Structure 1
Amino acid sequence: MKFVKALMLTALVSGVAFSSQLLAADGNQITPGLQSVEVTHSGEKVIITRASDKGAKIPGTFAKVSRHCPPFCIQPATVAAGVETVGELEVLGYLKRIGDGDRKVLVIDSRTPDWIIRGTIPGSVNIPWNKINVDLQGTFEVAAEAEGVHDILVNQLGVQDVKGNLDFRNAKTLVMFCNGSWCPQSSTNIKTLIKLGYPTYKLKWYRGGMQDWVSLGLTTVNK
């Protein structure tokens, strides 16, 4: 009898422990059916999850809410006609496609390298906004072609140069983001790309950017 009671107690404790593990796992899922997304960043495998630490807070870099406008004015929900505004789940979907080998998609961090070291989305590539737009005053109001933008289009974005004319038929789908809904860097780049002929249906805008990403406890990397 003592053996049976001991066995039942062991099973009960094991069951509680197992249930606790399940609850812990469920507690930081991205969605009920999505635990994580695996990507490659700078040649290394990174698993994107949500923070499991119940005491985790938004990093100080992105905790600031006061931003001088201009240039840091609140962006509209739609950056341009035909360009889809996306959220975190859509970004994760594109990252999963890239992780599965889809070379027709790029998730682009439009910020300058000094911001990248403070944290970026794993699986994204950095094409600084000022490589496409020139604005030395930092107002983001100048929509001029930067030196080298042609090379970026052809060498990184899948655009073809056919006898001096840009052919966008095989251009990659771009998911662009910057610091947040107050940051005009990625939206300015999107508008410039449209002027250069980039198809709007191949441009996606993650308006919430890094501030929304970290507020949801999603994984970041610092390079």
Structure 2
Amino acid sequence: MGWKSILFISLLTFSYAQETPKMLHAHSIEVKYTAMDGSVKEVTVARDSDLRCRDIPFDGKTFWSEEYPLKTVPEFCKKSFITTAGQLSPMKIDEKIDTYGELEVLEFLDEMQEDQNMLFVDSRKKEWYEARTIPGSHNIPFIYFTEKGKWEKKKQEALTLLGIKITKEGYDFSEAKTVLFFCNGVWCRQSPQMIEALLEMGYPPEKMKWYRGGLQSWLNVGMTSIIP
């Protein structure tokens, strides 16, 4: 692509941005997901930026004085979250398990669109998943693996989705998928508990990834979410 073509696209993008309150950033991908009614839908996953915020002179006092965010900050420039109970997780769960940030999650989602051996798992309970989740995720509640003897049918379905086979000798992980797990936030123990349970079963740690920030971090930086 020549410089004239790039310039034309840049000018077109800038023109569009001036007429549109929200504009998708460069890191954006198209993700397909299955809705609760069984239909397959597609959504653009990216960081949404309200262009009006670019005209507001932010400084240290604007960000950190009094309550966060400051009451004088326009509503369209704010992202709110709840401070709740929980236990802060370390940066690494296991030395062989990669900890992901938002860009790594986007890269994983992008590759997953073409690779059936990759799986993005929301490990929270069903009611949390149904309230809001990250596009492209499958809901496998952690309790299927931590509450032994209670969810056997659901656990069997989850094992199939993860690519785990049950043989006379035990669990067969030869076709286990590469899985990225997340839950509510750095204070949430649901995905760590699921990962710990799978490690105990023998799931290869090099095939597991963990998005430590979870949904709270995802929403706090303005990433696309859905109500499945």
Q: TM-score, normalised by structure 2?
A: 0.74
**2:142 pairs with 1:129:** yes
Structure 2 counterpart of 1:126, which letter?
A: N
Structure 2 counterpart of 1:206, which letter?
A: Y
Specify the alignment match of 2:98 in structure 1.
84
C-alpha distance in structure 1 between counterparts of 2:226 and 2:78, whole Å: 16
Structure 2 counterpart of 1:163, which letter?
A: K
**How has the CA–CA distance of structure 1 residues 153 and 169 changed in structure 2, closer, same or farther, with 3 Å as cutoff?**
farther
C-alpha distance in structure 1 between counterparts of 2:100 and 2:46, whole Å: 19
- Indicate if the aligned counterparts of 1:132 and 1:146 stay in contact, CA closer than 8 A: no
Specify the alignment match of 2:194 in structure 1.
189
Alignment of 1:100-179 (within 5 A): 100=114, 102-134=115-147, 144=148, 147-148=151-152, 151-152=156-157, 154-179=159-184
- Structure 2 counterpart SS, 1:78: coil
Alpha-carbon RMSD = 2.6
- Indicate if the aligned counterparts of 2:33 and 2:135 stay in contact, CA closer than 8 A: yes
Structure 1 counterpart of 2:134, which letter?
A: I
Larger radius of gyration: 1
Q: How many residues were matched structurally? A: 188
Specify the alignment match of 1:216 in structure 2.
221
Which of 82, 102, 115 aligns to 1:64? It is 82
Superposed displacement of residue 21, structure 1: 2.2
C-alpha distance in structure 1 between counterparts of 2:41 and 2:13, whole Å: 33
Which of 1, 15, 24 aligns to 1:21? It is 15
**How has the CA–CA distance of structure 1 residues 169 and 147 changed in structure 2, closer, same or farther, with 3 Å as cutoff?**
same
- Structure 2 counterpart SS, 1:132: helix
Specify the alignment match of 1:96 in structure 2.
110
C-alpha distance in structure 2 between counterparts of 1:104 and 1:48, whole Å: 21
C-alpha distance in structure 2 between counterparts of 1:56 and 1:45, whole Å: 27
Which of 190, 197, 208 aligns to 1:203? It is 208
Superposed displacement of residue 82, structure 1: 1.2
Percent identity among equivalent residues?
34
Structure 2 counterpart of 1:108, which letter?
A: V
Which of 32, 44, 48 aligns to 1:47? It is 44
C-alpha distance in structure 1 between counterparts of 2:143 and 2:202, whole Å: 19
**Any gaps of 5 or more consecutive residues in structure 2?**
1-10, 35-39, 54-75
C-alpha distance in structure 1 between counterparts of 2:89 and 2:49, whole Å: 31
**2:30 pairs with 1:38:** yes
